[in-house]
Structure 1
Amino acid sequence: MRKLKKTLLVLGVLLFMAFLGVFIFLNTLKPSYSGEKTMPGLSQEATVYFDDYGIPHIYAENEADAFKAMGYVHAQDRLWQMELLRRVAKGGLSEVFGKDLVETDKLFLSLGIDEHTKETVSQLDSNTEVVKLTEAYLSGINEFIKSGPTPVEFYLTGLEKEPFTISDVYNAIGYMAFSFAMAHKTDPLLTNIKNKLGEEYINDLAISSDTSTVWIRNHKKSKLDTLSNSLTANVSSALKALPIPQFIGSNSWVLSPEKTRNGKVILANDPHVGFAQPSVWYEAHINTPTFEKYGYYFAGIPFPVLGHDRNLAFGLTMFENDDIDFYFEENHPTDSTKYKTESGWKDYEFMAKTIRVKDEDPVKFTYKKSRHGSVSEYMTKGFEGENPIATSWIYTKIDNEVLDALYQMNHASNITEFQLALPKIHAPGLNVMYGDAKGNVAWWATAKLYQMPDSVSTKFILDGTNGIQEPLRYLDFSENPQSINPPQNYVYSANNQPDSIAGMVYPGYYLPENRAKRIVELLDAKDDWDKASVSEMILDITSSVNPELVTDMIKLIDISGFNEQQLILMDELKNWKGDYPKESISATFYHRCEYFVLKNTFEDELGKEQFEQFLSTHLVKRHIAWGVKMDDGVWWDNVKTEDIVETKGDIALKSLQDAWTSLINDFGEDTMQWQWGKVHTLEHGHPIGRVDALRKYFNAGPFPVHGSREVINNMAFPYDSTGLYKVNSGPSTRRIIDFSDVENSISILPTGQSGNPLSEHYKDQAQMFVNGEFRKMMMNKEEIIEKRKSILKFLKK
């Protein structure tokens, strides 16, 4: 017995020591928010004050020193995120996650981002301030890689840390430019529908611009007149495996002094990005004697994409313009290395790539390029046709000056200087929102737009052989949609259709009017907005469109055979205001019905696979309201019932019955169990959180949440057969900058500032975000010093 006790005691001590060792080791992997560190290349000391949420306020005597410090603190919180992001464009995800990511790597290699980066970097002038500050930022990242602790993800994946280069910066920009890939999801699908079902089915889809919906209004006359001027299936599958978030949409509005209680501009912005852990933005405040900016940084990019100071503020939404076209090429009948053009046969360019795969042999991959762009067999697999398809993407066709644009935007001191930077953003297409302390408000759609022949629709795969479906010209930036100090005293964007300055419709994958209609409705109603009322509006969960759809469909349904419980629910639905609190039952029932309306309308013609592809496009969102208003149309008929021609009323009744049955099967007959919060949940997933045993350590959530798709608080989700509405995208931050009190402007992040799971700031804002709370974006140095949580000093070596 004594020996057993002694053995157990020894084992207990060993286990305790092992636990203590692991605890001590893990603590060494945390970010350093205090102390002193030497930094090679610093000219003078730089001081970083961290606030209660881990946000760095960097004070230095010059920008180069500030950007070195910025690179270091950004890397210690987000190195893993930076690592994944720089790997996307050059096909490096399989090396981390294994063979499941090979198709994703093939997709991004085929896009040609990395090749375009190599060309851009070869032409850079190392003496420009843009390059100097970028290199300073990279030196800070690399100093952390050299001397800082290794993030836990590198140990779990066995990945070695490697220095960052300026090529990694441009590859990150390239991924940002790829954005939401709607062309890849939509154009081949529409071409398949047209070829398989015919023009009649295409005409009954919401493809063209609907002039009856809310459009963004242009306005160029202002007090600033002197300003200077199966591809689908493969892509969907590849993007689903992507371990980092994609840009989706966004809201923003900027109020002129005439619309605010305090007579100063207010800017609100909530860019919509795929939810993930860590979240997309890193927040930081830089201050030198000649430069100050409070910004939101994309991983691995030195200049913030969202930012403000005491003079001006800017935000963004996705323009959703069509900057990717697809072309059928025709191979030579006897020589597959050549393709047909209007001037004869031309040689393909062949690009050989090798993808390194974790625990597997490398995968060799070759794609070819025509004059239009990459022609990848991978990209065209599953398309119902034999001709090769080339991808023509504006990003890889134009000189890349996006980094220069970000530098100039962040160093502009007024609206004139700010606007001069914008023509350099050729892709991604962005709605850039602007407000300043002098009372100016503005919106510009930034992208290199081009004009196609009038008879050409870029929503279908084009003929690349004859030269008659090519762009006619690039538009000058002055022809881009824009509005400066308009008479309505506000500008806004909700990814909806913009009006035209150039007398033409700009092709795009615009989202429906739902959010835009609600934004205009609320902004037009009052002229005394302040920070509190704007923060309430940015959390709005009411749809102005959905109750109209309910009314339209209910009037078609014969309810004489309904039981008492069904009648009660129908009455509640009839009186529903279109709002989405977690307690709502009508919200749950509405979305079940809407899903089954789509399923019963489209799946019989499209089949299960293409129907699921259809659900992943913006087209289906545009079609919902437009289609419900269509009394007659070919899609309403179920082609599988040969002796019956179904009507819209038949589809409405069947969909309601299907929704009722599915909810009972899922939650029982007690409708109080059908509350929105039970089915509408948010979980921020980390790539390693996909392993069940590690999920609770790396993921944040799940949380039941208010909101829905296409309301201002756009907590969006995909439709699928599960009947669960798991939120996959939404506000990546909510920012409100009030120039009447700029130092008390407010914001929030979806999870936390740090991407390090061992940091106290990994998910310390997650519950606040769900609750609709905000925190201050501090800019006053005295307050920052007084309320600092910790200080980290960088000393010159």
Structure 2
Amino acid sequence: MRPGLPRASPNITSYPKNSCQKRFFFLTNSPIFPCKYKGLKFVKKFVHLLLILSLLLVIVGFGVYWSLKPEYKGEQQIKGLTTTVQVYYDSYGIPHIYADNENDAFRSLGYVHAQDRLWQMELLRRIGRGGLSEVFGEKLLGTDKFFLALGIDEASQKTVSKLNRSSKSVQLSQAYLDGINHFLENGPTPLEFYLTGIEKAPFTLKDIHNILGYMSFSFAQAHKTDPLLSTIKEQLGQDYLIDLEIDSDPNSTLIKSHHPKTTDSMGNSAITSVSKSLDSLGIPLFEGSNSWVVGPEKTKNGKVIFANDPHIGFSSPSVWYEAHVVTPTYEKYGYHLAGVPFPLLAHDRKLAYGMTMFENDDVDFYYEETHPTDSTRYRTDEGWDFYDIVTNTIKVKDADDVNFTVKKTKRGPLLNGIADQISGERPVSMWWTYTNNKNEVINALYEMASAPDLEAIQRALPKIHAPGLNIMYGDAQGNVAWWATAKLYEVPDSVHTKFVQTSTKAFPADKNYLDFSENPQAINPPWHYVYSANNQPDSVNGRFFPGYYLPENRAKRIVELLKPKNDWDATEVREMITDVTSSVNPSVFVDLAKALDIRKLSDKERKILDRMRAWKGDYPLESISATIYHRWIFRMLKNTFGDELDEAQFEQFLTTHMSKRVIAKIVDKPASVWWDDVLTEEIKETHEDIIQKSFEEALAFLINDFGPDEEEWTWDRVHSLEHEHPMGQVAVLRRFFNVGPFPVNGSREVINNLGFGYNAEGFYKVSSGPSTRRVIDFSDIENSMSILPTGQSGNIFSPHYKDQAELFINGEFRKMMMNKEEIQQSESVLTLAPSQKEE
């Protein structure tokens, strides 16, 4: 044997013949020699190439990260600044802007807002002007046509053309836009612009108004509800409307009005397809809210405590951008919509304000009559008039431009062929408060942000004509207040606003508006708190205001908790804002259970029913009763309404607030015409039949999904939240852009309102909920607390893209910093200096 070679194994019949095989033999003691020298050399080169490519990808990725991430430190020169501005970022990426004057402060706000949210700004400004197809292609054409037909862009253009350019609100708005545009021109381009291939363009005053116009639309329930109700009335008859809870309900939990200067008012006082398109893009829809303000008489420290959690569609990034802006003449810690300079929610050391959705009816539909021989004309009370014809061009990605024409009457645009729920040949026009009144919303927001006290806030509110908002207020002086803020109008007794109007004489488009003093409101009421949960306000001067109010569930729970307790502190209010118990659902369950014939149930079904009898209506992750309850409710709704309504109508019904209002009422109305299944002509089903069938189906589906062991039917398995980004629709990008999914407690219409739509699958993907939770304690203003659903930044390369997501899911909070000495200890300081190259 030659020196150096190992002794052969008895099974080895040959020895390595070259250096490649020798190395392989020594490493493996294997008799198989798979390589020749040249082969190994190729493998080595291939491995080296892979290593080089991997290193290059890391370098490129690192370079992309550093070039596209927001800058929270260092110095930037900003065109238009007159003084140096210091921006201190706290540990959650929230900017605290210190400037010597308001113009520089708002210019800086625009810049820092854009570097974290430019893509969100871009999407929101495109909705009102019909610009989504240019980004996402032909699938968004219907959405673009709908918003162009609404006339938001046209109304914005008219508003901007009449602005007083020397007013403070316009000057600060322009400074804010200049800050956005400086970043747009000089800052890194967000990754989404590269992925979609769209070009950046300067932001204008019209963009601000288009964004506010979209916000106003997203509140409007009339588009979803009125056409459906008119269809039910025409196809099924008046009897089918009785039990749909479409009128004011004086027996529910009402928001009580209180006018301090009067003595007689105490205590008596579209769109399914469009919504789906916007939801799929992660564009937030404004849907509901909670807020309550506890007066000093009911708090442990004798100071006002303010709570607010507006309910908005979840998305990534979340809707609000927090910013603390300080000048010698202005200070607000505010929550800003992308592209809007003044906060909709804000506080300082003197006062706090926030909002919920009023849910008033500010949209009316009218049947129109086209001339029998001239399609360019329609009937008016004065005779035949010509339709106004408005033509728009919609740019479409990877396709030719589309010319789009809208016919308009004196009432508004015709929606036939534009809104899916407006069908048939009979023309239907839409009148909308937002586009038919002078728009001063931006002035109102500026005046609210600058207001020093309650009286100044109240003076600004009449300028908000739409959307309808409940403005909630509390201050350091001990005042609490609530105003239903909208331009309300008289409705004749003979008119029901939730149906398409057949007579313009009975209900003309020229509305008789009420003075703001007649709006529902309460200022320092004797019960020492105010609240709103999108529920119905009490009557004012004997008048109920029509609307699309949510059921009393959350309101009842809020009053149930607030009313008896007189020693609230901030910790307890934070616990209350994350409360997951329904005061209504257990009683609904009792009504359902009463209708069951126990003799027809199996032993297992009776055991499950007995288990549910102990349910308190709460929604922790481990709840089993919660899962059974919602499966049962959906089957009950489907079996009750799904026979008279076709599939599209039933789906539309489920998107309305009406479907939520009807649940508790219908189960207590055994004589309702809806209980009979019209598909079984030979049998007339009863209330008991439908509820029994629904219970058995719900349990069968649960067994099919999770097995027969009910211990596996926990709420966390069916109720989840994922914050979606438009780019997350692409499977390979989902994990980078989307945040979640997370199993989440809470449910629809509890205080911790995690809303979802019912579906046949029985898995509830949360679509909306608290867009922030704020608790402001005027006895300790510097330790007031808040949270965002994901994070402050919309830039995926920012450490603040999702750093609050788990805190939010767990019901935790973090401080809203206001102490300057504490703020200045930040390690992330961005200095914004006047540009040395002013043009």
Q: Indicate the TM-score class for this superposition, using the shorter chain for normalisation.
A: over 0.9
User: Which residue pairs with 2:16 in the alignment?
Assistant: none
Q: Are the counterparts in 2 of residues 354 and 363 from structure 1 also a CA contact under 8 Å?
A: yes
Q: Note if 1:637 corresponds to 2:664.
A: no
- Give the AA of the match of 1:666: D
- Rounded Cα–Cα distance in structure 2 between residues aligned with 1:469 and 1:628: 38
The unaligned stretches of length 5 or more in structure 1 are: 226-230
- After superposition, give the CA deviation of every residue in 1:480-505 in whole Å (9 maximum; x if it has no partner): 11000001000000000001224211
- Rounded Cα–Cα distance in structure 1 between residues aligned with 2:263 and 2:723: 44
- Rounded Cα–Cα distance in structure 2 between residues aligned with 1:372 and 1:471: 9
User: Which residue pairs with 1:401 in the alignment?
Assistant: 440
CA separation of 1:234/1:426 partners in 2, compared to 1, >3 Å: closer, same or farther? same
- Rounded Cα–Cα distance in structure 2 between residues aligned with 1:599 and 1:412: 50
The structural deviation recorded for 1:240 is 4.6
Q: Are the counterparts in 2 of residues 380 and 388 from structure 1 also a CA contact under 8 Å?
A: no
Q: Which has the larger radius of gyration?
A: 2
The DSSP-based 3-state class of the residue aligned with 1:795 is strand
Q: Note if 1:189 corresponds to 2:208.
A: no
- Rounded Cα–Cα distance in structure 1 between residues aligned with 2:546 and 2:591: 30
Q: Are the counterparts in 1 of residues 219 and 467 from structure 2 also a CA contact under 8 Å?
A: no
User: Which residue pairs with 2:520 in the alignment?
Assistant: 481
Q: Are the counterparts in 1 of residues 250 and 538 from structure 2 also a CA contact under 8 Å?
A: no
Q: Are the counterparts in 2 of residues 250 and 317 from structure 1 also a CA contact under 8 Å?
A: yes
Aligned residues: 791
Q: Note if 1:794 corresponds to 2:832.
A: yes
- Rounded Cα–Cα distance in structure 2 between residues aligned with 1:101 and 1:384: 20
Q: Are the counterparts in 1 of residues 495 and 506 from structure 2 also a CA contact under 8 Å?
A: no
CA separation of 1:551/1:471 partners in 2, compared to 1, >3 Å: closer, same or farther? farther
- Rounded Cα–Cα distance in structure 1 between residues aligned with 2:336 and 2:570: 24
Q: Note if 1:417 corresponds to 2:456.
A: yes
Q: Are the counterparts in 2 of residues 374 and 391 from structure 1 also a CA contact under 8 Å?
A: yes
Q: Are the counterparts in 1 of residues 422 and 428 from structure 2 also a CA contact under 8 Å?
A: no
User: Which residue pairs with 2:499 in the alignment?
Assistant: 460
Q: Are the counterparts in 2 of residues 222 and 485 from structure 1 also a CA contact under 8 Å?
A: no
- Rounded Cα–Cα distance in structure 2 between residues aligned with 1:92 and 1:142: 19
CA separation of 1:379/1:14 partners in 2, compared to 1, >3 Å: closer, same or farther? closer
CA separation of 1:265/1:58 partners in 2, compared to 1, >3 Å: closer, same or farther? same
User: Which residue pairs with 1:616 in the alignment?
Assistant: 655
- Rounded Cα–Cα distance in structure 1 between residues aligned with 2:276 and 2:806: 31
- After superposition, give the CA deviation of every residue in 1:288-347 in whole Å (9 maximum; x if it has no partner): 111100000000000000000001000100000000111111001111111101110111
Q: Note if 1:169 corresponds to 2:208.
A: yes
- Rounded Cα–Cα distance in structure 2 between residues aligned with 1:646 and 1:388: 38
- Give the AA of the match of 2:495: V
Equivalence map 1:344-363=2 (5 Å): 344-363=383-402
The structural deviation recorded for 1:384 is 4.9
User: Which residue pairs with 1:667 in the alignment?
Assistant: 706
- Rounded Cα–Cα distance in structure 2 between residues aligned with 1:638 and 1:10: 70
- After superposition, give the CA deviation of every residue in 1:410-434 in whole Å (9 maximum; x if it has no partner): 1000111110000000000000000
- Rounded Cα–Cα distance in structure 2 between residues aligned with 1:386 and 1:454: 29
- After superposition, give the CA deviation of every residue in 1:434-481 in whole Å (9 maximum; x if it has no partner): 000000000001100111211101100012554655565101100111
Equivalence map 1:43-442=2 (5 Å): 43-221=82-260, 232=271, 234-241=273-280, 243-379=282-418, 381=420, 383-442=422-481
The structural deviation recorded for 1:544 is 0.5
- Rounded Cα–Cα distance in structure 2 between residues aligned with 1:32 and 1:345: 61
User: Which residue pairs with 1:729 in the alignment?
Assistant: 768
Q: Are the counterparts in 1 of residues 282 and 724 from structure 2 also a CA contact under 8 Å?
A: no
CA separation of 1:39/1:596 partners in 2, compared to 1, >3 Å: closer, same or farther? same
Q: Are the counterparts in 1 of residues 417 and 423 from structure 2 also a CA contact under 8 Å?
A: no
User: Which residue pairs with 2:817 in the alignment?
Assistant: 778
User: Which residue pairs with 1:34 in the alignment?
Assistant: 73
- Rounded Cα–Cα distance in structure 1 between residues aligned with 2:142 and 2:72: 39
Q: Are the counterparts in 1 of residues 416 and 422 from structure 2 also a CA contact under 8 Å?
A: no
User: Which residue pairs with 1:714 in the alignment?
Assistant: 753
- Rounded Cα–Cα distance in structure 2 between residues aligned with 1:86 and 1:504: 38
CA separation of 1:243/1:106 partners in 2, compared to 1, >3 Å: closer, same or farther? farther
- Rounded Cα–Cα distance in structure 2 between residues aligned with 1:6 and 1:457: 80
CA separation of 1:391/1:235 partners in 2, compared to 1, >3 Å: closer, same or farther? farther
Q: Are the counterparts in 2 of residues 380 and 389 from structure 1 also a CA contact under 8 Å?
A: no
CA separation of 1:332/1:631 partners in 2, compared to 1, >3 Å: closer, same or farther? same
Deviates more, 1:21-30 or 1:617-626: 21-30
CA separation of 1:232/1:126 partners in 2, compared to 1, >3 Å: closer, same or farther? closer
CA separation of 1:645/1:4 partners in 2, compared to 1, >3 Å: closer, same or farther? closer
- Give the AA of the match of 2:596: I
- Rounded Cα–Cα distance in structure 1 between residues aligned with 2:721 and 2:780: 33
Q: Are the counterparts in 1 of residues 722 and 741 from structure 2 also a CA contact under 8 Å?
A: yes
- After superposition, give the CA deviation of every residue in 1:171-211 in whole Å (9 maximum; x if it has no partner): 11111111233111000000000000000001121111111
User: Which residue of the other structure, out of 724, 741, 748, is the alignment partner of 1:702?
Assistant: 741
The DSSP-based 3-state class of the residue aligned with 1:451 is coil
Q: TM-score, normalised by structure 1?
A: 0.97
The DSSP-based 3-state class of the residue aligned with 1:474 is coil
Q: Are the counterparts in 1 of residues 355 and 472 from structure 2 also a CA contact under 8 Å?
A: yes
Deviates more, 1:14-23 or 1:718-727: 14-23
- Give the AA of the match of 1:715: L
CA separation of 1:190/1:654 partners in 2, compared to 1, >3 Å: closer, same or farther? same
The unaligned stretches of length 5 or more in structure 2 are: 1-39, 265-269
CA separation of 1:349/1:778 partners in 2, compared to 1, >3 Å: closer, same or farther? same
- After superposition, give the CA deviation of every residue in 1:368-403 in whole Å (9 maximum; x if it has no partner): 110001113333555454211111000000111000
- Give the AA of the match of 2:60: G
- After superposition, give the CA deviation of every residue in 1:91-118 in whole Å (9 maximum; x if it has no partner): 0001111111111111111110000000
The structural deviation recorded for 1:629 is 1.4
- Rounded Cα–Cα distance in structure 2 between residues aligned with 1:509 and 1:702: 31
Deviates more, 1:97-106 or 1:464-473: 464-473
- Rounded Cα–Cα distance in structure 2 between residues aligned with 1:544 and 1:139: 50
- Rounded Cα–Cα distance in structure 1 between residues aligned with 2:722 and 2:525: 40
The DSSP-based 3-state class of the residue aligned with 1:377 is coil
- Rounded Cα–Cα distance in structure 2 between residues aligned with 1:785 and 1:234: 48
- Rounded Cα–Cα distance in structure 2 between residues aligned with 1:7 and 1:589: 58
Q: Are the counterparts in 2 of residues 717 and 729 from structure 1 also a CA contact under 8 Å?
A: yes
- Give the AA of the match of 1:737: I
- Rounded Cα–Cα distance in structure 2 between residues aligned with 1:783 and 1:565: 60
CA separation of 1:505/1:242 partners in 2, compared to 1, >3 Å: closer, same or farther? farther
The structural deviation recorded for 1:243 is 4.0
Q: Note if 1:598 corresponds to 2:637.
A: yes
- Rounded Cα–Cα distance in structure 2 between residues aligned with 1:627 and 1:3: 76
- Give the AA of the match of 1:761: H
The DSSP-based 3-state class of the residue aligned with 1:340 is strand
- Rounded Cα–Cα distance in structure 2 between residues aligned with 1:290 and 1:307: 16
Deviates more, 1:563-572 or 1:198-207: 563-572
User: Which residue pairs with 1:534 in the alignment?
Assistant: 573
The DSSP-based 3-state class of the residue aligned with 1:375 is coil
- Rounded Cα–Cα distance in structure 1 between residues aligned with 2:281 and 2:437: 26
- Rounded Cα–Cα distance in structure 1 between residues aligned with 2:273 and 2:748: 25
Q: Are the counterparts in 2 of residues 320 and 429 from structure 1 also a CA contact under 8 Å?
A: yes
Q: Are the counterparts in 1 of residues 87 and 96 from structure 2 also a CA contact under 8 Å?
A: yes
User: Which residue pairs with 1:523 in the alignment?
Assistant: 562
- After superposition, give the CA deviation of every residue in 1:26-77 in whole Å (9 maximum; x if it has no partner): 3210000000010111111000000000000000000111111100110000
CA separation of 1:238/1:366 partners in 2, compared to 1, >3 Å: closer, same or farther? farther
The DSSP-based 3-state class of the residue aligned with 2:287 is strand
- Rounded Cα–Cα distance in structure 1 between residues aligned with 2:477 and 2:630: 45
